[in-house]
Amino acid sequence: MSSINNNPGAAIALQMLSKNREEKEDVQDDVSTGKEVNTAKDNAALWAISEVMEADIGGFEAASRTLSIGEATVAVASAGAEQITNVLEDMKVLAIQAQSGTADFGMIEEQMAAKAEQINSIVGSAQFNGVNLLATDTDGNGGTGLTVPTALNRQGSDPATLSTMTVDSVDFEGDAAFDIGGRTAITDAASARTALDEINGFLDFAINGAAKLGSDAAQMREQNEFLHKLNDTTKQGLGEIRDAKLDEAATRLAALDAQQQLSMSGLNIANANPGALGKLFG
Rounded CA separation 69/139 (Å): 14
Burial 97-117 (b: 16+ CB within 10 A, else e): bbbeeebeeeebbebbeebbe
Q: What does the domain layout of the chain look like in residue ranges? A: 10-34+244-277, 50-242
CATH top-level class for 50-242?
A: mainly alpha
Whole-number pLDDT of residue 210: 95
DSSP assignment of 265-280, as one string?
Answer: HHHHHHHHHHHHHHHT
Rounded CA separation 202/213 (Å): 16
Contact (CB, 8 A) for 244 and 36:
yes
Per-residue pLDDT of the chain (282 residues; tens, 9 = 90+): 444 455 565 556 556 656 656 665 565 555 555 566 667 777 788 778 777 888 888 888 888 899 999 999 999 999 999 999 999 999 999 999 998 878 899 999 999 999 999 999 999 999 999 999 999 999 999 999 999 988 877 776 677 788 889 999 999 999 999 999 999 999 999 999 999 999 999 999 999 999 999 999 999 999 999 888 988 888 888 777 766 554 555 566 556 555 656 556 555 665 555 555 455 444
Residue 48 vs residues 20, 37, 44, 227: alpha-carbon distances, Å: 28, 10, 6, 23
DSSP assignment of 77-145, as one string?
Answer: HHHHHHHHHHHHHHHHHHHHHTTSTT--HHHHHHHHHHHHHHHHHHHHH--BTTB-TTSSSSSSSS--E
Rounded CA separation 9/263 (Å): 11
Whole-number pLDDT of residue 49: 77
Whole-number pLDDT of residue 37: 67
Q: Which of 208, 198, 197 is nearest to 178 (CA)?
A: 198
Whole-number pLDDT of residue 55: 81
